[in-house]
Amino acid sequence: MKIIVYAIAKNEEQFVNRWCQSMKEADDIYVLDTGSTDNTVKLLQNNGVHVTEETIHPWRFDTARNISLALVPTDVDLCVCTDLDEVFETGWRKKLEQEWNHQANRISYSYHWQLDENNKPIISFYISKIHTRQNYCWTHPVHEVLTYLGNHEQTQIIDDIQVYHYPDTNKSRSSYLPLLELSVQEDPSDDRNMHYLGREYMYYGYNDKAIDTLKKHLKLKKATWKDERCASMRFIARCYAREGKYQEAIEWVKNAIEEAPYLRDPYMEKAMIDYQQQNWQEVIHSSLQALTIVKNQKTYINESFCQNEVIYDLLSIAFYNLELYSFSDFCIQEALKFSPNNTRLIENQKIIQSKSRKGNV
């Protein structure tokens, strides 16, 4: 088998050596550098990477990805697209060779998008960026998608292949919003991009635009995936809550629960809205409902606050305000298991335990 890694890069010198070490199991590595001003190119070349430099204007991620894919020789069996802030678990090539069903032209594998301080995955989902050389291209200016151009695409899941994401949190994502707006202009019927645009407006605090765009997403004929529909409803609720419109927020978060009752996320969204209103009984009710859901759906929709200390933190605060200090103490201990160095949680525990020692129950 001939396996090639390809990628795009710009000012990634801090990641180069680690990334090359992870990718060296491939037969060759090709990188399109789109204008680095640091030592990215030199470091890549020192690691034996084939580097092509090209400035892309106007900038589009799909254009860059397609140029990088074009660098890959046509006689390759499998192409592996990664970013320089990603690391494969050692042995990934051997797993590919052993498990690839040659009838499949695309492979899905486990992507650990967010990790805790102990390198334990918080949010994981499948991605499918390993593919055969022919009949593929990248589409959309941002949040680009690998698109099959042939007649029949067959995807194989190989769970044993693991990729870990270590992003540069200081890196600007300011280009995303205008590129998402462009994506929606180019294809207003694309449900994924409409959802992403509404979510991006929410991130920027453009509540009215977010609400309007997310409602448009829900009306699209293609918008049938319940997890994503639930997320749009949650984000609408979150925006209304920011505006102090709690009645509307509660209505929308209840819609989200009805849409996808198998997810923790809408229950946690409701718990946080109830927390803002100091509705302690409802905080407890929603949080406990969330805890009954133990199976985490492996999609990008997952929110970290549904899997970390937040759920027990909310419960602890709610029980404390209802003067149920022993329950509050139990929950703060559970929260500290997730975040043992959290100074606020530690201080809260001291306050709760001082109440418990006074004989309160």
In terms of residue numbers, what domain contains 298? 176-307
Q: Which whole-number Å values give the CA distances from 103 to 72, 97, 161, 194, in the listed order? A: 21, 13, 18, 33
CATH code of the domain containing 78: 3.90.550.10
Spatial strand order of the sheet with 121-131 comes to: 50-53, 28-33, 3-9, 78-81, 121-131, 106-115, 155-165, 86-88
Neighbours of 281 (CB within 10 A): 11
Number of domains comprising the chain: 2
Which residue type occupies 276?
A: Q
DSSP designation for 101: -
193 and 243 both lie in a single domain: yes
Helix axes 325-338, 310-321, angle to 10 degrees: 160
- 193/154 Cα distance (integer angstroms): 24
Whether the bond between 188 and the residue before it is cis, its omega within 30 degrees of 0, is no
Classify the phi-psi angles of 84: left when phi > 0, otherwise alpha if psi is within -120 to 50, otherwise beta.
alpha
| Ordered mean pLDDT values, 10 residues apiece, the chain (361 residues) | 97 97 98 97 98 96 98 97 97 96 95 88 93 97 96 95 93 89 96 97 97 98 97 98 97 98 96 97 97 86 89 97 96 95 95 78 47
3-state secondary structure 204-243: HCCHHHHHHHHHHHHHCCCCCCHHHHHHHHHHHHHHHHHC
- In a domain? residue 146: yes
141 and 204 both lie in a single domain: no
181 and 158 both lie in a single domain: no
Beta bridge partners of 9: 33
- In a domain? residue 336: no
- 164/115 Cα distance (integer angstroms): 8
Q: Mark which of 109, 141, 165 sits at the end of a domain.
A: 165
118 and 261 both lie in a single domain: no
- 238/229 Cα distance (integer angstroms): 14
147 and 182 both lie in a single domain: no
What local confidence, expressed as pLDDT, does residue 2 receive? 97
- In a domain? residue 202: yes
- In a domain? residue 337: no
9 and 157 both lie in a single domain: yes
- In a domain? residue 331: no
What local confidence, expressed as pLDDT, does residue 239 receive? 98
What local confidence, expressed as pLDDT, does residue 361 receive? 47
- 344/146 Cα distance (integer angstroms): 43
Contact 105, 132 (CB under 8 A): yes
- 138/47 Cα distance (integer angstroms): 27
How many Cα atoms occupy the beta-carbon half-sphere of 358 within 13 Å? 10
205 and 133 both lie in a single domain: no
186 and 213 both lie in a single domain: yes
Q: Mark which of 165, 184, 213 sits at the end of a domain.
A: 165
- In a domain? residue 340: no
Contact 251, 229 (CB under 8 A): no
CATH code of the domain containing 193: 1.25.40.10
